[in-house]
Amino acid sequence: MSSSFAKKIGPPVPLLIIGIVFFTIGFGIGISGFLTPALRSAFDLSIGQSYLVLAAISSAFVIFARPSGWVVHKLGYRKSLVLSFMIMALGMWLFVPSTHAESYVLFLLALFVGGIGNTLLQASVNPYITIVGPEDTAAARICLMGILNKSAWWVAPVFLGLFIDLTNVQLGDIIMPFYIVTGILILLGILLYFAPLPEVSAEGESDGQGSETVSQSSYAAGKTSILQFPHLLLGLLALFVVSGVEAMPLVSIIDFARTAFGEVENLDSFPKYVTIGMSLGYLFGAIAMPRYITPVKVMIWFAVLGLVSAFGIIYLPPKIAFYGLILTSFSISVMFPIIWPLALKDLGRFTKAGASVMVIGIAGGAVITVIYGFIVDAIKTTEQAVVADYQGAYWVLIPCYLIILYYGISGHKIRTR
């Protein structure tokens, strides 16, 4: 039975290769989350300023999403993946001169360059994993890739934790690990170039415009712009807040744990709880959707669960509220694979343009976490933020989950004449 399921999921070799790519994406995000408290300590930054680490990466999604779509169209999926790894390697290498100069601005520039590579990676790998196997198991494939992606969130800080002491950050300590990561990314790029990764095409991608061969939609037939698809634009908004909620536990769990539990050892191990929560959610999605429950129903019920977890983080005693972060990770995990196909439904010849627009939504991981950080700065009454300050800032989760709930209930159904 497992063999039959594996065949239905998709071709094993391409899935293995793309699984490594998804792991690499998660590794890069995990490094960013780890650097948030580390750089704050090294440069004596405010909480809001330190959260610009993630903003430097995610802003690239806004600027380079559409150009990345053009690159994928010209080079194809495999060569775009190779190029993205090389750009990410450049970003990692730039950490070395940034360290020698002891410049926070240069650190942000290095992260931004890495974000450009990540943007191209996302623009090529997400449609590839959707196309490479049967259409009816696309959600299962995305969930399986999500497990690998989120597992790397934990592996990354554990790796860097071998070189950096969170309680006594020394910038010189990060040189060796970033040399190692740079080398790994270059090696992966070279291996991808020679890997047996077939070039695949979605229906309608074979011609330049996609006007004749894309599965035609009567709804899209009379449209002239992607701005005429409200369910796509609302899907972009939903993905934006989903990306923010996904990033929130990762970038804040160390700060929250430090203030909730006092001085504890192995702070760098706390992100693994975020990984566990998200991986369990992806596992649920891979098994349950759509065999036992429709994706839309999962979205609605998990949004409700997310609201419960958010209120728990805000109002429960800190040592109990901490576990609300893990529940938040679980509740948000399956939203990406659910929202993506809902937003692209009925786009017809606009499907490729719509997909490039959706990539912009990943920038929510930066914007919402930066808002969270500056809220902490605004409400704290002492020099150092206390646990109540962090709990109060988590109010930013409430409107995010309400937007997700709205999209699940009715937003994805909206169509114009």
Say if 97 falls within a structural domain. yes
Distance CA 246, CA 254 (A): 15
Distance CA 297, CA 134 (A): 22
Q: What's the structural domain count of the chain?
A: 1
Per-residue H/E/C for 151-195: HHHHHHHHHHHCCCCCCCCCHHHHHHHHHHHHHHHHHHHHHHHHC
The 10s digit of each residue's pLDDT in 38-79 is 666 667 777 666 667 666 777 788 888 888 878 877 887 788
* pTM of the shown model: 0.77
Distance CA 305, CA 283 (A): 17
Distance CA 177, CA 257 (A): 25
Say if 288 falls within a structural domain. yes
Residue ranges of the chain with per-residue pLDDT less than 70? 1-10, 29-30, 32-42, 47-51, 53-55, 135-136, 153-154, 157, 165-171, 200-217, 264-268, 352, 417
Tell me, what's the pLDDT at 301?
95
Tell me, what's the pLDDT at 206?
45
Say if 161 falls within a structural domain. yes
Say if 210 falls within a structural domain. no
Region class of 116: left (phi > 0), else alpha (psi between -120 and 50), else beta: alpha
Whether 327 and 276 have beta carbons less than 8 Å apart is answered as no
The 10s digit of each residue's pLDDT in 356-375 is 788 888 888 878 888 888 88
Q: What is 261-289 written as a DSSP string?
A: H-S-S-GGGTHHHHHHHHHHHHHHHHHHT
Tell me, what's the pLDDT at 257?
82
Q: Buried b vs exposed e over 31-70: b needs ≥16 C-beta within 10 Å?
A: bbbbbbbbbbebeebebbbbbbbbbbbbbbbbebbeebbe
Tell me, what's the pLDDT at 268?
65
Distance CA 194, CA 347 (A): 34
DSSP 8-state code for residue 207: S
CATH number for 349: 1.20.1250.20
Say if 353 falls within a structural domain. yes
Quote the domain boundaries for residue 17: 9-195+223-413
Say if 409 falls within a structural domain. yes
Tell me, what's the pLDDT at 364?
87
Say if 407 falls within a structural domain. yes
Say if 87 falls within a structural domain. yes
Residue type, 301: W
